Amino acid sequence: MTAAHVEPLARAAGNKLPRAPRKWQSKALLAVFVAYVVGVVWSWMYIDMTLLTLFGGFTELWNLVVDMVPPNFDNMRVVLKATVETIWMALIGTTACVVLSIPLAFMAARNTTPNPVVFAVARAIITLTRALPTLVLAAVLTLPLGIGPLPGLLALAIHSIGMVGKLFTEAVENTEAMSREAVTSTGAGKWQTVLATLVPQVTPSFIGTALYRLDINLRESAVLGFVGAGGVGFVVQQHLRSLDYQRAIAAVGVIFVVITLIEVVSTRLRASIIGDHLSSPTKKTPRTMARERRDHRLLVDAVTTRRLTPPWTYERLVRASAGIIYLVLIVVAFATIDIPYLSALGLGDEVIDSFGRLFPPDFTTAGPELWQGIRETVAIGFIATTLGLVISVPLGILSARNIVVNRFVYGTTRLFMLALRGLPELIVAVLFVAAMGLGPVPGTLALTVGTATFMAKLIGDALEEVSPEPREAVFATGASRAQEFVTSVIPQALPNLVSQTLYMLDVNLRSSTVLGIIGGGGIGFLLLSALRVLQEPTVGAIVIVIFVIVYSIELIGTFVRWLVE
């Protein structure tokens, strides 16, 4: 009897229980959405950006463009030298970060960590290093280390640990355990086993991550000069300060070309080093077929003669030469970069001293300004994201091959976006500041451009991947092009769009903490002025505030992503 009573109850509970969390989650999602809308409205009122200022901005920008033509290349020696320094900084910074991240990753990966304390510490280091933007870190490091590339590359190295360490850890955790158990069973020691089984599995992904980070660091190191931390950014800023726009745009052009070139090379390298089928390419050309024949002959020779070292197949040659080129470059970088190694060794104490002077942080001296800076930073992030999204939708649609049938339209749109994405956001921002003067509006516009081009690319790609079957079905009912687009394309692409918007908000809020350093509004401006007058406790306070902003964004972002999934 009792059982009969219990059963319907249990079934009812069983029906209810799994639904309850979903309800709670959708409420939370709604709250996030409302909060976003409120944030945007409040930000718009706070920055007081009207459409008029926007269009006014465009005339000012046009004036700047007119002033920049024709570019003046007579200062190329200085620009090229500074650009080379920029590259070396990115290279050394990334290398240092990789060297530090490898042991951290093995300590932070669940399957290799030696003990829980080491695990927690390694995880904490990886999370915390990410929370201080490179430019802020570089600016603070110039206090003890002085002007030059050293604080810049240290900042690059430290900040990159956050991303590189995280991706490395994931790579280690994603290895399969069978081979490890098998090699342990042969009586191999712990490190022998790790080297024989885990390392071969993670190497390609480690290299891919490192190359990807090199791209990012190159962009970052191009703007480090704004705070005197070395590289070509300093040259750009000097020319802008002296209103020498023609030389400034020449330097910007060099930055653009170098960044684009290195990105192309590293993308190809990444594809070929990670690619599992380097030796059997998908495209059969006479060249690749000759290559395959040669590889095959080498392999056959190697086993018939019982060669005791692996034969020099194409794949091995490519890898070895990439490795040698890298080694040569890093040696040249270390040898030629302007770092006083010997005296730098003695600077350790000074760094500790100088960080000590940041404490206890002084929140009162800059109190009201600090509060204003925080609000401005948040407002810039919200407006840039929303405005960027609004602009990106038409741009993205124009760049989708399967929506716009006109080849010329999507071609030029894609090219235009590629050009804008090729420049680091802060370079765009510094040009906008030069055109419109100090304040949050140029900073916001720069982030808007970045967001719009990034999102437009995503939208374009997403639209091109939209499956054609529903579209055909709708067309078959006799719908117009516009009707078809609204009913079948948009619903398919929407979920991805929402999560990417959140991601951009995260990115933009981070960027807006540093915009002020170049006069683009937000809390960064305070940081720079406090640094100039050496108010170290105030610097400490600002750094802590930035840290808290970025860290909370990260937490909120993780929470919302969890909600969406």
Q: How far is the CB of 192 from other proteins (least distance, A)?
A: 5
Nearer to other proteins, 168 or 234 (CB): 168
Q: Which of 30, 121, 195, 290 binds other proteins (CB under 8 A)?
A: 195
Nearer to other proteins, 86 or 112 (CB): 112
Q: Which of 76, 78, 96, 199 binds other proteins (CB under 8 A)?
A: 199
Site for other proteins in 408-467 (CB under 8 A): none
Q: Which of 179, 372, 496, 500 binds other proteins (CB under 8 A)?
A: 179
Does 187 help bind other proteins (rule: CB under 8 A)? yes
Nearer to other proteins, 66 or 308 (CB): 308
φ/ψ (deg, to 5) at 404: -90, 120
Sequence-separated (6 or more) residues with CB below 8 Å from residue 49: 383, 440, 441, 444
What's the angle, vertex CA 381, arms to CA 225 and CA 542, rounded to 5?
60
Nearer to other proteins, 127 or 179 (CB): 179
Q: How far is the CB of 113 from other proteins (least distance, A)?
A: 18
Q: How far is the CB of 183 from other proteins (least distance, A)?
A: 5
Q: How far is the CB of 21 from other proteins (least distance, A)?
A: 25
Nearer to other proteins, 193 or 444 (CB): 193
Select the span of 160-168, 188-196, 366-374, 556-564 touching other proteins (CB under 8 A).
188-196
Tell me the C-alpha distance between 261 and 91, whole Å: 15
Q: Which of 178, 405, 482, 533 binds other proteins (CB under 8 A)?
A: 178
Does 115 help bind other proteins (rule: CB under 8 A)? no
Which single residue is written with the structure tokens 């390419």? 281
Tell me the C-alpha distance between 338 and 452, whole Å: 38
Nearer to other proteins, 191 or 408 (CB): 191
Select the span of 41-49, 87-95, 176-184, 384-392 touching other proteins (CB under 8 A).
176-184
Q: How far is the CB of 331 from other proteins (least distance, A)?
A: 22
What DSSP string describes 138-199? HHHHHHHH-SSHHHHHHHHHHHHHHHHHHHHHHHHHTS-SHHHHHHHHTT--HHHHIIIIIH
Tell me the C-alpha distance between 126 and 322, whole Å: 28
What DSSP string describes 419-463? HHHTS-HHHHHHHHHHHH-SSHHHHHHHHHHHHHHHHHHHHHHHH
Q: How far is the CB of 194 from other proteins (least distance, A)?
A: 8
Q: How far is the CB of 536 from other proteins (least distance, A)?
A: 46
φ/ψ (deg, to 5) at 485: -60, -45
Tell me the C-alpha distance between 105 and 165, whole Å: 6
Does 181 help bind other proteins (rule: CB under 8 A)? yes
Nearest alpha carbon to residue 222 among 370, 36, 66, 422: 422
Nearer to other proteins, 274 or 330 (CB): 274
Residues touching other proteins, count (CB under 8 A): 33
CA atoms within 13 A on the CB side of 246: 9
Q: Which of 144, 311, 361, 439 binds other proteins (CB under 8 A)?
A: 311
287 is written with which tokens?
């060249």
Q: Which of 194, 255, 387, 462 binds other proteins (CB under 8 A)?
A: 194
Does 197 help bind other proteins (rule: CB under 8 A)? yes
Does 189 help bind other proteins (rule: CB under 8 A)? yes
Q: Which of 183, 251, 337, 466 binds other proteins (CB under 8 A)?
A: 183
Nearer to other proteins, 315 or 461 (CB): 315
Does 243 help bind other proteins (rule: CB under 8 A)? no
- Pattern of binders to other proteins over 291-310, x per CB under 8 A? --------xx-xx--x-xxx
Tell me the C-alpha distance between 479 and 163, whole Å: 47
Does 200 help bind other proteins (rule: CB under 8 A)? yes
Q: How far is the CB of 178 from other proteins (least distance, A)?
A: 4
Nearer to other proteins, 291 or 421 (CB): 291
Q: Which of 53, 127, 201, 496 binds other proteins (CB under 8 A)?
A: 201
69 is written with which tokens?
């033509």
Tell me the C-alpha distance between 373 and 385, whole Å: 18
Dmax of the chain from CA atoms? Answer: 97
Which single residue is written with the structure tokens 């465009």? 58
Q: Which of 146, 204, 470, 537 binds other proteins (CB under 8 A)?
A: 204
Nearest alpha carbon to residue 262 among 422, 94, 429, 153: 422
Nearest alpha carbon to residue 532 among 512, 517, 547: 517
What DSSP string describes 240-280? HHTT-HHHHHHHHHHHHHHHHHHHHHHHHHHHHHH-TTTTS
Nearer to other proteins, 199 or 497 (CB): 199
Tell me the C-alpha distance between 410 and 460, whole Å: 9
Select the span of 90-98, 124-132, 181-189, 359-367 touching other proteins (CB under 8 A).
181-189
145 is written with which tokens?
């280390």
CA dihedral 401, 404, 408, 413 (to 10 degrees): -80
Q: How far is the CB of 200 from other proteins (least distance, A)?
A: 5
Site for other proteins in 37-66 (CB under 8 A): none
Q: For binding to other proteins (CB under 8 A), which residues are involved? A: 178-189, 191-197, 199-201, 203-204, 299-300, 302-303, 306, 308-311
